[in-house]
Amino acid sequence: MYALNTTDLAGYTVTLAYDTTQVSFKRVGENGLQSEKNMLFSNGGMALFIGTPPENGRVEFAGVSLGAFLNTTPSGNGLLALYRFIPTAQFSETNFQIDRAIFQSGDVRDTVATGGIARLVADDGSPIPSTGAGEEIPGLILIDLDPAEGNQGLKLKGGIKSGDIIKVQLFADEFPEISGFGVNIETSQGALIYIDKSFVAGEFIPGGLVVATNRDGIIDAGVASLSGATGRGTGFLGELDLRVTDSFVDSTYFAIVTVGFTLRDGTIQEVPVRIIGRLETAGGLVGDFSGDGTVGFSDFILFAQAFGSPVFDPKYDLSNDGKIGFADFLIFATVWGTRA
């Protein structure tokens, strides 16, 4: 969303209306693609932005210049907001409409008559089919489905069943120097659910603030430095947990689709990627809890932690008797040392 022909813009509030049956709101931010900055930054000023949760098909976003002076408040044209949406399974066509726009310049407050419409349609007007996992697009981030410490590079995990908890580890691969990062993770709708508050940051950015949300099958997870600490190069970014639901049949996937950075100078960059993790029922090895293809010491540690635990995890119930006990240990002992 852009503003045209403004004069000494000190702040604004804009509301975008959309059809909730056709698209799902993902998020809104102040900066654009390819490092395009919000116009409130154009004269070297500082600004604060806030968005409200969507309600009844409307999303409100506001920005205000901090300590606005005539030499920092911008005039002319510029970016106000970047909105992101995901088409629903029923998508055929939809409109986006600016519902309201208020601009502040000094003591002058203008409510602008709006009504501009942007239209989005499918190629043939029919619902967009599911594309599945798609093709891998490598980037600056790596995933590992092996819960053991360090990056084992495991991206395909077998022996999955409903109720399993999948730990996803994230690793930086030659990051530039950053003070914050974020990832958008797409899940195969219905088969995987993000476990609330499970995202735990690594030490790549020491003491960083953790933020994670889940909306309409898209997980946004990231870390931001509040102390000025930075990280660069390779390292452990963090980990999160996904639960396999009863909708899981045969196989599913998740994919990191965007990696964002806040560089040391405050510049924000977003890189489109498609880093895919795959889960399937086939190829599973009994007792291979870590998913590394071997029943070994790492699996014994995981089993020992679950043995007799008050928190029941069906993954370790090898005997399917509703509890984790000696019957499961005997089964585990018989498969010790086996390989897929």
Question: Which CATH number is 224's domain given?
Answer: 2.60.40.680
- What is residue 68's predicted lDDT score, i.e. its pLDDT? 60
Q: Among 88, 121, 154, which residue terminates a domain?
A: 121
Judge if 87 and 195 occupy the same domain. no
Asked if the structure places residue 264 within a domain, the reply is yes
Judge if 165 and 273 occupy the same domain. yes
- What is residue 214's predicted lDDT score, i.e. its pLDDT? 85
- What is residue 129's predicted lDDT score, i.e. its pLDDT? 41
Judge if 180 and 241 occupy the same domain. yes
Closest by CA to 224, choosing from 239, 241, 206, is 206
- What is residue 127's predicted lDDT score, i.e. its pLDDT? 39
CATH of the domain at 292: 1.10.1330.10
- What is residue 177's predicted lDDT score, i.e. its pLDDT? 95
Judge if 271 and 327 occupy the same domain. no
Kindly give the parts of the chain with pLDDT less than 50. 125-131
Judge if 156 and 52 occupy the same domain. no
Judge if 145 and 238 occupy the same domain. yes
**Helix, coil or strand: residue 130:** coil
Q: How is residue 53 annotated by DSSP?
A: P
- What is residue 124's predicted lDDT score, i.e. its pLDDT? 54
Location of structure tokens 């510049």:
267
Total of domains in the chain: 3
- What is residue 284's predicted lDDT score, i.e. its pLDDT? 62
Asked if the structure places residue 135 within a domain, the reply is no
Q: Which residues constitute the domain of residue 338?
A: 285-340
**Helix, coil or strand: residue 63:** strand
Judge if 159 and 216 occupy the same domain. yes
Closest by CA to 199, choosing from 182, 214, 215, 221, is 221
- What is residue 195's predicted lDDT score, i.e. its pLDDT? 95
